[in-house]
Amino acid sequence: MKTLGALRQGAVRVWLGAACAVLTGLVLAQTPAAPPAPANPAPPPLTIPDAPKPAAAKAWLVMDDATGKVLAGENIDLRLEPASITKVMTSYVIAAELKAKRIKSTDKVMMSENAWRTGGAGTDGSYSGFEVNKTASLEQMEMGMVIQSGNDAAIALAEHIAGSEAAFATLMNDYAKRLGLTNTHFVNATGLSAEGHYSTARDLAMLGRALIRDFPGQYAFNKIREFTVGPITQRNRNLLLWRDDSVDGIKTGHHSGAGYCLLSSAKRGDQRLISVILHAKSEEERAVDSLALLNWGFRFYETHRLYQADAVVASHKVWKGTTDVVKLGLDQPLLVSTPRGRYSELKPLMDVPKTLVAPIKAGHKIGTVRVMLDGKIVMEAPLVAVEGVAEAGFFKRLWHDFLMWWDSV
């Protein structure tokens, strides 16, 4: 028969083994697999010059689409009139309502007398040319709004979807809240000057990013260069569509209170950037300044995919499970923007609980992966279980209860 001392020595060995297993799991979790090297390594990093500051715009920025990171900007949270860039939110609401099947692209939309008088050819603003008291398909009316920046088409669409433009503005603000546009408030569907109608460079970039991400089919209207309604053919007012083939949107804006505005986006290779110019002095100025910002961003920054969705990047000890380790990964690809040439300096770290107990469902959030550069967080994302871990049988659970208790005393 074993002595009490021998039993305690055996228990200590078991405890040490369990402790080592826990420590091993923690080490694995805190040291994720290194991100893959890029297929074509970038040259050594350069000193990044300041972004080309627009000559007269009141607010401006350039943003990386993949991550939402603002690469450069000024007065990016200053509330200003967005003019017809407002129609990007009108497009977003239409796309969301189409997806929800509350409207159809083939719906007949009436060009009401109100829409015609408020936003038609008799006004100082841009118009589509659809005839008053006649209908057109929702898709055609939307193209008139997006390509020609037709105020009349925007109002007609708002009335069709919500009954009135004021009711439609309520939907716009609801969607703005869902998208996290905290400094934006809409009063109308057109962007015509109105008290309490405002947004910011940051919010508008986020809105453009959301339209690209959520509704690429709807976004594609923005790169069409011209559109014809009846005998009238009008050109898209975004001059960049003719100056740079990588530009595929997004929306211009102008009225006396807002000056000249442009929300633009371009894609070169796998990288997409978004720029915003608000309250410039001329159509030419907003185009030149926007293209300068896009060129600067593409020249000095790069976007990398660190991890694929569902790829195993680490593992962690699990108690009371049919297996003793859970595989950890991400439910979305992890993309990071860095100054060009500094990809190899990224340091991924993980924050995970010390103790995990089965059962664990696949996709369950375990912790957070953070990507560091120069000691600062440049991107973070939820860390999830790539595969589930079922609960073990009675005796293993009982044994692990004992080990966990011993570890705690």
Mean pLDDT (whole number) for 181-191: 98
Confidence (pLDDT) at 34: 60
Task: Please state which CATH number belongs to domain 11-33+312-408.
Answer: 2.60.410.10
Told to judge if 376 belongs to the known catalytic residues of this protein, a careful annotator would answer no
State how beta strands 59-64 and 70-74 pair.
antiparallel
Average pLDDT over residues 91-101: 98
Q: Could you give the CA distance from residue 273 to residue 343 in angstroms, rounded to a whole number? A: 18
Where does 6-77 show beta strands of DSSP type E?
59-64, 70-74
pLDDT of 124 above 80: no
pLDDT class of 405 with cuts at 50, 70, 90: confident
pLDDT in tens, 259-301: 999 999 999 988 999 999 999 999 999 999 999 999 999 999 9
Burial of 399 per CB tally in 10 Å (0-12, 13-18, 19+): middle
187, 193 contact by CB (below 8 A): no
Helices (H), 276-349: 283-300
Q: Which residue among the candidates 84, 128, 199, 265 is catalytic per the annotation?
A: 84
Residue of 99 and 325 predicted with greater confidence: 99
pLDDT confidence of residue 21: 41
Query: Of 91, 149, 264, 315, which is the active-site residue?
Result: 149
Supply the pLDDT for residue 33.
Answer: 62
The mean of the pLDDT values for the chain is 88
Phi, psi of 61 (to 5 degrees): -165, 165
**Each residue of 387-397: pLDDT tens digit?**
888 888 888 88
Of 3.40.710.10, 3.65.10.10, 3.90.1150.10, 3.40.50.720, which CATH number belongs to 59-303?
3.40.710.10
User: What tens digit of pLDDT does each residue of 2-58 get?
Assistant: 444 444 444 445 444 444 443 333 334 445 666 666 656 656 667 899 999 998 999
Q: Which segments of the chain belong to CATH 2.60.410.10?
A: 11-33+312-408
CATH 3.40.710.10 domain span(s) along the chain: 59-303
Instruction: Tell me, yes or no, if 87 is annotated catalytic.
Output: yes
Question: In the prediction, which pLDDT does 123 show?
Answer: 83
Q: Can 112 be counted among the known catalytic residues?
A: no
Cα of 13 vs its chain's centroid, Å: 51
Instruction: Provide the β-strand partners of residue 261.
Output: 253
- For helices 151-162 and 138-147, the axis angle rounded to 10 degrees is 140
List the beta bridge partners of residue 65: none
Taking the model in full, what pTM does it have?
0.82
